[in-house]
Amino acid sequence: MPVISLEQLRETANLGFGKVFSPHMFIAYYDPERGWHDQRIQEYQPISMDPAAPIFHYAQSIFEGLKAYRRPDGEVQIFRAKENVARLNRSAQRMAMPLFDEEENLRALDALVNLDRDWVPSAPGCSLYLRPTMIADGCGLGASSAKRFIYFIICSPSGAYYSKGIAPVSIQIEEKYVRAVKGGTGQAKAAGNYAGSFKATADAVKRGFDQVLWLDGKENRYIEEVGAMNIFFVIEDRLVTPELCGSILPGVTRDSVITLARDFGIEVEERRIDVRELYEAHRHGALREVFGTGTAAVISPVSVLEYKGERIEINGAKIGKLSQRMYDHLSGIQRATIEDKYNWCSVVSRDAKY
């Protein structure tokens, strides 16, 4: 079992990401007669399912990712959980799955994190990653929506995404495969979106890149997003990011970065971005910074982009000023070392119980 003891947690130098888990999980079951029922917190344990359960055959599965952080006063807080439980329900709607009451979901998250609060690491850059997941249960190979579902939340003590300060990544702009199209499932956090993207990423890794940047599925020229991150460009003095056009995932970190940037007095544009516009901007020296945003890394600076064999280096492969400022500010709010004037964080009560 991948549950980590407190002793092991103290001794492990780098936890990595999503490899070890806290001792408890939340679980709930759904059927059409009873709705959600048998909700409880229990020991982390395997789930036994029928081999004909629809999750295995038709990928009816959605998930979320959010983090609990250790504050300097020793308390624990969760970053923007309301947004995540709301997005889970939007994903559920798209994937023909039942909604889970958002207030109740927040109570479940609080109770679970409260119970396993000692598993929230306090070292710099570390956090407790929370993974809410909903899957189709039951037995039957009919290719239509399942009737029974399981919702669970597991918690993974995670190490600093960057063990030696934020490290820039190199990205290949994908020409052959697409991730999503308007009207598809790209704006849902649906498990199948990932399975469909692994091949492209694996190929890019073989060619020496860290990630792929997806273009739109129709014209193959507008920038969409990176594997599990949204993407931002600093062009001249403006912060530019693809608009939420129906095929990209509306990231909570994306929204936080846009809010902070506007607060910093920076002009933000959410619009279509032609890949050729980027290369043109680079030729004129106007493309100053590129960074990805997502819960896991918060801010991930991009050092190299390659498209159709043409490779460009961003900002001398160094972290840009705005990328660094965003990282410092956002992670400061998450760790309660910078004032949280948007009320993004909620402190987990020591009385929280399910």
Ligand X SMILES: *Cc1c(COP(=O)(O)O)cnc(C)c1O
Among 28, 191, 229, 258, contact with ligand X (rule: CB under 6 A): 229
Among residues 225, 241, 247, 345, the one that binds ligand X under rule CB under 6 A: 225
Among 159, 251, 301, 320, binds ligand X (CB under 6 A): 251
How big is the site for ligand X, counted in residues (CB under 6 A)?
A: 14
Beta strands in the chain (DSSP E): 24-31, 35-43, 61-63, 66-70, 76-79, 127-137, 148-158, 169-173, 211-215, 223-226, 230-235, 238-241, 268-270, 287-294, 298-307, 310-313, 345-347
Rounded to the nearest whole angstrom, what is the least distance from the CB of residue 329 to ligand X in the complex?
15
Q: Which stretch binds ligand X (CB under 6 A): 114-122, 135-143, 227-235, 275-283?
A: 227-235
Scanning 32-40, 45-53, 111-119, 291-299 for contacts with ligand X by CB under 6 A, the matching segment is 291-299
Q: Crossing angle, helix 102-115 and helix 81-94, to 10 degrees?
A: 130
Tell me how far CA of residue 225 lies from CA of 15, 66, 198, 241, in angstroms.
27, 19, 14, 9
254 lines the binding site for ligand X (CB under 6 A): yes
Percentage helix, strand, coil for the chain under 3-state DSSP, each rounded to 5: 25, 30, 40
Smallest CA-to-CA distance from 63 within 192, 247, 178 is with 192
Closest approach of ligand X to the CB of residue 269, in Å = 19
* Dist. CA 212–CA 225, nearest whole Å: 9
Q: Is 249 in the site for ligand X (CB under 6 A)?
A: yes
Closer Cβ to ligand X, 257 or 304, answer by number: 257
Q: Which string of b and e fits 224-238 if b means at least 16 CB within 10 Å?
A: bbbbbbbbbbbbeee
253 binds ligand X (CB under 6 A): yes
Residue closer to ligand X by CB (options 116, 225) is 225
The alpha-carbon radius of gyration of the chain (Å, integer) is: 21
To the nearest whole angstrom, how small is the minimum distance from the Cβ of residue 72 to ligand X?
24
| Spatial separation of the C-alpha atoms in residues 5 and 11, rounded to whole Å | 10
By CB under 6 A, is residue 293 in contact with ligand X?
A: yes
Binding to ligand X in span 152-211, by CB under 6 A: 189
Region near ligand X per CB under 6 A, out of 2-10, 17-25, 31-39, 249-257: 249-257
Query: What x-and-dash track marks residues 55-84 binding ligand X by CB under 6 A?
Result: ----------x-------------------
Q: Which residues bind ligand X (CB under 6 A)?
A: 65, 189, 225, 228-230, 249, 251-254, 293-295
